């Protein structure tokens, strides 16, 4: 019993670690999509940031400088997306695909030119990474049953970006639902004409939303290369940007449900690693690939309208042309 409890707490702990970049990226997508910009490019922004963060951290020895560089690159890519979609009324999906492909090639090419390690950045020492923060009294309280274990394993012992990610959820909620900017953001995604007729710049709002998106994707990328791992590797995002997008849709473009979807997808990932080759009673061994494909299958089923209805912001993907 005690052991089973510890095992499930450890699985939840792994869930938090896996879900962190997903939460950050899907909040990033939330800002973009709520303002009416389709963002397939979450993946590319994360990848670009992961590379920049690892490269700068490796050279400077500071994880924080790496984080700043990662956010910078991610914002630049977000603004490029904005430039194409907002200023030049380009196709949002095409632009997102371009950014994903561009960063996939560029990160490796520049990585080889700078570090000559086949696209990887040098392994980061602990000083140049975001390492685990042990909360006060974690060891002392560990002896208390249930609470002690939860405190030590689940709450304590993560790096700072994990806490940032989960604090970003209420913050995003507050910004989107309780501030003037948030109200306008939601309006511009639903009915840009109304926002425009109130004398507010549609393009300005959408650009600001893209900057928010860039910041969050930047943190997500830096987490991958300087916190979860110790360095950048080719294509290290491995589809997480798309999973985050799926989680955003699964959460119906709202912050808290999107976070819950990220936790669900993270949990599936954590459990897939543990279930490898395990025979379950009654069911037998579940193929790992089945659990890995589940987030995508669930998203398709949701989109098909079989579990609730996912309704996108109304003006999403449509370029806004001011009437003359």
Partner 1 sequence: MNEGPARPPRWVGMVLIPLVNLTLALAIAGLIILSIGENPLTALRFLLFGAFGYIEGLGYTLYYTTNFVFTGLAVAVAFRAKLFNIGGEGQAYIGGLGVGLVALAFDDTLPLVLMVPLAIAAAAAFGAAWAYIPAYLQARRGSHIVITTIMFNFIAAALMVYLLVNVLIKPGQMSPESREFAPSAWLPFMHEALGWFGIAMARSPLNLSFLWALVCCVLVWAFIWHTRWGYEIRTVGGNEAAAVYAGIRPTRVIILAMCVSGALAGFVGVNEILGVHHRLLLNFTAGYGFTGIAVALMGRNHPVGILLASLLFGALYQGGAELAFEIPAITRDLVVVIQGLVILFSGALEYMFRPQLERLFTRRGAALPVEG
Residues of the shown chain interacting with partner 1 in the complex, contacts defined by CB under 8 A: 38, 40, 83-85, 88-91, 93-95, 97-106, 108-110, 112-113, 119, 239, 242, 245-246, 249, 287, 289-290, 292-293, 296-297, 299-300, 303-305, 310, 312, 321
Q: Counting Cβ atoms within 10 Å, is residue 267 exposed (0-12), middle (13-18) or buried (19+)?
A: middle
Using the minimum distance from each CB to partner 1, give the nearer residue, 174 or 290: 290
* Shortest Å, Cβ 6 to partner 1: 30
* Shortest Å, Cβ 152 to partner 1: 35
Q: How far apart are CA 212 and CA 72, in angstroms?
A: 12
Q: How far apart are CA 127 and CA 66, in angstroms?
A: 12
Using the minimum distance from each CB to partner 1, give the nearer residue, 159 or 240: 240
* Shortest Å, Cβ 48 to partner 1: 11
C-alpha 227: how far from chain center: 14
Using the minimum distance from each CB to partner 1, give the nearer residue, 140 or 300: 300
Q: At what angle do helices 202-223 and 160-178 cross, to 10 degrees?
A: 160
Using the minimum distance from each CB to partner 1, give the nearer residue, 200 or 303: 303
* Shortest Å, Cβ 134 to partner 1: 36
Is the backbone of residue 44 left (phi > 0), alpha (psi -120 to 50) or beta?
Answer: alpha
Q: How far apart are CA 33 and CA 121, in angstroms?
A: 32
Asked if 265 and 243 touch (Cβ cutoff 8 Å), the reply is yes
Run of H or E including 178: helix 160-178
* Shortest Å, Cβ 40 to partner 1: 7
Using the minimum distance from each CB to partner 1, give the nearer residue, 44 or 72: 44
């Amino acid at each position: 019993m005690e052991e089973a409890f510890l095992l499930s707490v450890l699985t939840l702990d792994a869930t938090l670690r896996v879900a962190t970049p997903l939460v950050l990226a899907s909040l990033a997508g939330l800002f973009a999509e709520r303002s009416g910009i389709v963002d397939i490019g979450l993946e590319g922004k994360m990848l670009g940031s992961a590379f920049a963060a690892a490269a700068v951290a490796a050279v400077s020895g500071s994880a924080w400088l790496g984080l700043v560089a990662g956010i910078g690159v991610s914002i630049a890519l977000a603004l490029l997306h904005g430039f194409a979609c907002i200023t030049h009324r380009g196709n949002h999906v095409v632009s997102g695909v371009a950014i994903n492909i561009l960063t996939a090639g560029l990160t490796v090419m520049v990585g080889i030119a700078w570090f000559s390690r086949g696209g990887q950045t040098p392994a980061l020492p602990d000083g140049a990474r975001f390492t685990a923060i042990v909360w006060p009294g974690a060891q002392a309280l560990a002896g208390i049953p249930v609470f002690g274990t939860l405190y030590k394993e689940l709450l304590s012992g993560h790096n700072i970006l994990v806490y940032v990610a989960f604090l970003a959820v209420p913050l995003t909620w507050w910004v989107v639902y309780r501030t003037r900017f948030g109200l306008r953001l939601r309006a511009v995604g639903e009915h840009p004409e109304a926002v425009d007729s109130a004398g507010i710049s549609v393009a300005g709002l959408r650009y600001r939303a893209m900057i928010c998106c860039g910041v969050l994707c930047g943190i997500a990328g830096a987490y991958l290369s300087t916190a979860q791992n110790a360095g950048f590797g080719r294509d290290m995002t491995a589809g997480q940007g798309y999973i985050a997008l799926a989680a955003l849709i699964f959460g119906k473009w709202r912050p808290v449900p999107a976070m819950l979807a990220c936790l669900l997808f993270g949990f599936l990932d954590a459990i897939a690693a543990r279930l490898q080759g395990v025979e379950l009673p009654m069911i037998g061994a579940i193929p790992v690939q089945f659990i890995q494909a589940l987030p995508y299958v669930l998203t398709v089923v949701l989109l098909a309208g079989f579990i609730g209805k996912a309704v996108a912001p109304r003006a999403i993907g449509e370029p806004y042309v001011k009437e003359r």
